[in-house]
Structure 1
Amino acid sequence: MKYLKRIVAGLLVAGTISGFSAQNVYALEDKKALLGNLTNELETVSVLRQESETQLEMNLKEIEKLNRDREIYRIRAEYLRSNIEETMKKGEMLDEKNPNIIQAALLTLTNGYLEMELADILIAIHSSAEEFEQYQEKEIRKDDKEAIREGLQEKLSKLEEDLAQVEEILSNGASRSTELLTFNGELSVKITEVETQSETLSAQKTKVEEEIRVEEEKRKQQELERKRATTFIRPASGRLTSGYGNRIHPVTRRRAFHAGIDIANSRGTSILASRNGKVTFAGYKGTYGKLIIVNHGNGIETAYAHLSSINVKVGQSVTQGNVIGKMGSTGRSTGSHLHFEIRMGGSTVNPSKYIK
């Protein structure tokens, strides 16, 4: 019965877990903890089910063996009852013929009694009832008859003792079979309950896994949005041809301050928004040529100059990574490149320190 108790205990624990409402709003960590509990309970229920099915199979095999053994003992019992009946009949036959005193004296004088050795007595005791009938036709001496009677009684006692043992075995086997059949019925019910519980846990586990997936995807998206709103990315592919700070201007050949960085690549290379923001300028502006300025809030701006084309309009919101224009060489430029600036509080800063 220990298996049944384990199943019931497992169901009670699993029932506690299933009491969690999947409709409630859990923090991601709580959902992961719940998922862990559901996974553990699902494994427990699975083990209980496997153990129960194994026990059920073992019980069926034991019942099958008990039935085979009971049939053997049933045949044995029938044989013993038949022998008991036959032995009792032989005893009755032995008592049917009892000579009176005069007949006994006469038989003694004339040697009319059957001469019996020990072997003959044993044969008589263990003979069949049909074979024993021959002794009714002959006179048996009192001593020999008493020896046969004692032998029959001893045999009868042994047969009755053996029969009692066989009947006890049959009774115990029947009780054990009944017990196993009852247990199997309970096991079958519990296995069905475990299967139902397993299905419920699996459904809850699947739902929680999906909720976790959605929550994690949401968090990833939120983190991505946060990064897009708080970090800068490289606005174009290509090689860095000029850094931030004082330099010899490539056109005027005079020492001048360079307010941004230059990234050179072929004409038409995509220019990306370095950070989420709103376009505040999109047009031609003096030496910058075609220029886009994006405001990122909190006094932060980015500028993209010398473009060959502009893909956005003033007032348009852009997301980090959006293509906002194409590289070119408009304005005062010596070749196709992007002049990129980051401005904070009205002053430019070195973009290389902020680009991730």
Structure 2
Amino acid sequence: MRFIDEVIITIISGNGGSGNSSFRREKFYPLGGPDGGDGGDGGSVYFRANNGINTLVDYRSKKVFKADHGGDGRNKQMHGSYAEDLILDVPVGTIIRNLETGEIIADLTEHDQKVLLAEGGRGGIGNIHYKSSTNQAPKNFTPGKPGIEMEIELELKLIADIALIGLPNAGKSTMISAISAARPKIADYAFTTLEPNLGVVKMGENNSFVVADIPGLIEDASEGKGLGIKFLKHLERTKAFVHLVDVSWCLDEFEAFEQYVVIREELRKYNEDLLTKKELVCLTKIDAMTDEEIEKYVNFFETQIDRKVLPVSTVSGKNVGLLKSLMLKTFEDYEA
């Protein structure tokens, strides 16, 4: 299923039914009198977060969503029927904006979280309510109130605990397939991954966390180059990063470190707050390197960023288990 994370739709709540103007016409009630019932309320439009959905694809083709109208009042003081509310399910992590004003109406971050977007119109009142000592035969009634029409934007930001970041071909897709059950497309060319992948990393019976593979980050991504900022927004919800740097093709450690700098600069330009998140740095694709070469690269990185750097290989499995343990500790430290 294609990952759809931005859509614009129109929602319309139902109109209230009109009140009724009628008079009693029965054999044993010669004086009759007003007996028009009230109209029913129109259906409201709600949005509900559902963790069983992971894309906005259901809103790609259909663009208008309408709740039903309330029923009109009838004679014999019969009330018009109340319309059912329209409840639209969206993925957890969906932000709802008023398209006209840009205002964020709701941020649905928890399963079953529900928000009213457009209230249905109230039903009108029948002529029975206008009867008084001075007006025994009123014909007055009120129409139902109209529903609300609103154009909104739905934007999905993935809710993952840890994000895998790095330049294209850094090994993000291979890594997420190595540490979780996710099976993304993997190939030896840039932009293999065009949509985010989510995987659940399980550590024993009771510990697990969600990892997202964030694609399309290159130099000037924050300014729209390549896949642009399409996926940078997903980083804002994550608790930490695993920054993968491919050292297999680099002439020296300076060239390798430049990859790291490029991504960090794009994070800064998009949102400086991203730089405050916990980050694990991994040197990937080390299979063809000697131990001495690996140590040289690791030492250089650790000197530059003043923290530990982990060399990993998904081919041989070197340090993959250790990386999972460090990710779990990072996740647990954040939750504590």
TM-score for both structures, normalised by structure 2: 0.23
Structure with the larger helix share: 1
Structure number with larger C-alpha Rg: 1
Structure with greater proportional strand content: 2
TM-score by length of 1: 0.22
